[in-house]
Amino acid sequence: MEIIVCVKHVPDTASRIKINSDGNGIDTSDISFVLNPYDEIAVEEALKLKEAQGGKVTVVTLGADNSVSSLRTALAMGADSAIHLKSDNWTGDSYATAKALADEIGKNSYDLVLFGKQAVDDDSSAVPQMVGEFLGVPSVSVVVGLEIDGSNGKAEREVEGGKEIVEFSLPAVISAQKGLNEPRYPNMRGIMQAKRKPVNTVEVGVADSKSTVSQMEMPPARSAGKIVADVSELIDCLKNEAKVI
Amino acid sequence: MSVLVLAEHRNGELKKTTFEALTAGRSVADKLGTEVCALLLGDGVDSLASELGKYGADKVLVGNNSALQNYSTEGYAEAIQSVVSSQSATVILLSATALGKDLAPRLCAKIGAGLAADVTELDVADGKLVAKRPVYAGKSISKVEFNSDVQVASLRPNVFTAQENAKAGAVESVDVNPGDIKALVKDIVAAAGKKMDLSEANIVVSGGRGLKEAENFNIVENLAEVLGAAVGASRAVVDAGWRPHSEQVGQTGKTVSPTLYIAIAISGAIQHLAGMSSSKFIVAINKDADAPIFKVANYGIVGDAFEVVPTLTEELKKVLV
């Protein structure tokens, strides 16, 4: 089975976010970047499928030069090869991102394309489903259970208050949610091997951005409220001051 | 030109988020000087149409098709595409629910539209939608402008207030063709014993590592039951296997904006605060007076959760039940 996993290099979730001096992005100077946590789950699922059924796992990212370190993390976990899509005019718009990824994926043979269900920077949860449409294949998002049997698949998708059981034909796009598996940590042998695995850099033009982030701001600051003495004072405040109960 | 709002329903009832999206759509349409079309898709959903006019729909389009009985990404996207062109819709609003978050991107890719996902503020400038949306799980807010003719936004549940504003709500049936569906929902399984969904709940009661062990979560559940609240959990508690992943609040879990968020024995790691700081009121109960959670809480009790929470539950029973 040929599996492609699309990943993104994102700020660690422990990062404090500051706005850059242009006011339209974040200041990345003090931030450490990691493989997007949901993408770790996607890589793990690909490796499990390969271990069970044979095949090859290719990881793909679109991003700046430093995103190669997330590709190396995926290679150290056990992926076979990597593709780094590089662009001078990529602004992060989901549509343009998905188009560039789908164009590259379409040049390869694939049975399954896996994503994390969202990147923890932009939080749009959009690129996987868009890639599905651009490739003309079905997509199932927010998946917490996956079975592949020949050219058919069955996924459990998390919805409000339960799960949808979705049956689909391959090739397909799947986005992984926490709970699908427990991602492995790369071991020393994996890390050493990853250094020798191929990372193919491809220059791409990212065209057709449909949206622009024109400004970024910090959320309204919350200030500490009051410490109440006991439960009855708390109930009084909730009832008469906040009026929420 | 028109504003198209997808009416979402479950178990034969319109969802509350549909009225929120309709109210927002009405406001956008008034600014653009155009009309609001609500779109109902399903199989035999005519009876739901009459309610939509009350919240500002000029027109209610009903697309019945047996293939749309259950939601499907491809089928819904295909059906909406034809309605977008027949109605000349330039703005499409959905709710950022499991359905809306799945569907909106596929639709955008199909019709060449830009997307603002999980939006918390909407406005109009120069005849186009302008949206604000939390990124980095709410650590910052992006302002999104569109370069495309058709603009799509999914709206975060619980943020836009639903307001009655009766319009004609003229019901029309439309032919919808869901096309070739390659991913089909075969079954919908309800989670065992779960009453309320986290991201749509008005009140959320969450527990953290300070509860010491999984069994002690019953004090959180009891309080949630009295309040009719959803139960949430910190990442530490989910990683320890005490609670399911679906209950996690924070940057690698759910981002919630309830009216009331009660954090019990949660210290307030930055990734947790990101996921709940947009709640209207926050109550923190923690024995460590220096816990970061108190810096964002409207009301705090410094004390042992095992004493405070059962008392709170009992006292609330007297007030509420």
Mutate to test the interface with B, among A124, A165, A218 (most CBs of B within 10 A): A124
Q: Can you give the pLDDT at residue B23?
A: 98
What number is the average pLDDT over the span A136-164?
A: 96
Whole-structure pTM value: 0.95
Q: Look at residue B69 and tell me whether its pLDDT is greater than 80.
A: yes
Which residues of A fall within a CB distance of 8 Å from B134? 123, 219
User: Can you read off the two tokens belonging to residue A198?
Assistant: 């191929």
Q: Look at residue B196 and tell me whether its pLDDT is greater than 80.
A: no
Domains, in order of start, for chain B:
2-173 (3.40.50.620), 203-320 (3.40.50.1220)
Q: Can you give the pLDDT at residue A46?
A: 98
Q: Can you give the pLDDT at residue B102?
A: 98
Strands (E), chain A: 2-7, 9-11, 33-35, 56-62, 81-86, 112-116, 139-149, 152-159, 162-169, 172-176, 199-203, 211-217, 226-227
Q: Can you give the pLDDT at residue A244?
A: 94
pLDDT, tens digit, 9 for 90 and up, residues A7-27: 999 999 999 999 999 999 999
pLDDT band at B209 (very low <50, low <70, confident <90, very high): very high
Q: Which residues, other chains included, contact B193 with Cβ-Cβ below 8 Å and sequence gap of 6+?
A: none
What number is the average pLDDT over the span B70-88?
A: 96
What number is the average pLDDT over the span A141-148?
A: 98
C-beta separation of B255 from B235 below 8 A: no
User: Can you read off the two tokens belonging to residue B10?
Assistant: 């479950």
Q: Can you give the pLDDT at residue B321?
A: 74
For residues A105 and A132, give the distance between their C-alpha atoms in angstroms, rounded to a whole number: 11
Q: Can you give the pLDDT at residue A126?
A: 98
In this complex, the residue of B114, B183, B189 whose CB is nearest that of residue A95 is B114
- Please name the helix (run of DSSP H) or strand (run of DSSP E) that holds residue B281, with its range, or none: strand B281-286
Residue of B nearest to A122 (CA): B135
Q: Look at residue A200 and tell me whether its pLDDT is greater than 90.
A: yes
pLDDT, tens digit, 9 for 90 and up, residues B158-170: 999 999 999 999 9
pLDDT band at B193 (very low <50, low <70, confident <90, very high): low
pLDDT, tens digit, 9 for 90 and up, residues B216-272: 999 999 999 999 999 999 999 999 999 999 999 999 999 999 999 999 999 999 999
In this complex, the residue of A210, A218, A225 whose CB is nearest that of residue B114 is A210
Residue of A nearest to B128 (CA): A211
Distance to chain B for A75, nearest Cα, Å: 23
Q: Which is nearest to B290 in space by CA: B280, B300, B282? A: B300
Q: Can you give the pLDDT at residue A211?
A: 97
Put simply, whether A100 touches B (Cβ < 8 Å) is no
Q: Can you give the pLDDT at residue B195?
A: 61
Which residues of B fall within a CB distance of 8 Å from A138? 73-74, 181-183
Is residue B213 exposed (0-12), middle (13-18) or buried (19+ Cβ within 10 Å)?
Answer: exposed
**What is chain B's mean pLDDT, rounded?**
96
For residues A17 and A25, give the distance between their C-alpha atoms in angstroms, rounded to a whole number: 10
pLDDT band at A88 (very low <50, low <70, confident <90, very high): confident
ipTM for the predicted complex = 0.96
Q: Across the interface, do B98 and A13 touch by the CB < 8 Å criterion?
A: no
For residues B233 and B251, give the distance between their C-alpha atoms in angstroms, rounded to a whole number: 12
pLDDT band at B194 (very low <50, low <70, confident <90, very high): low
Q: Can you give the pLDDT at residue A170?
A: 98
Residue of A nearest to B255 (CA): A123
Q: Can you give the pLDDT at residue A21?
A: 95
pLDDT, tens digit, 9 for 90 and up, residues A101-117: 999 999 999 999 999 99
Q: What part of A 111-150 touches B (C-beta under 8 Å)?
A: 120-134, 137-142, 144
pLDDT, tens digit, 9 for 90 and up, residues B43-60: 999 999 999 999 999 999
pLDDT, tens digit, 9 for 90 and up, residues A26-37: 999 999 999 999
pLDDT, tens digit, 9 for 90 and up, residues B287-304: 999 999 999 999 999 999
To the nearest whole percent, how much of chain B has pLDDT over 70?
A: 99
Q: Look at residue B40 and tell me whether its pLDDT is greater than 70.
A: yes
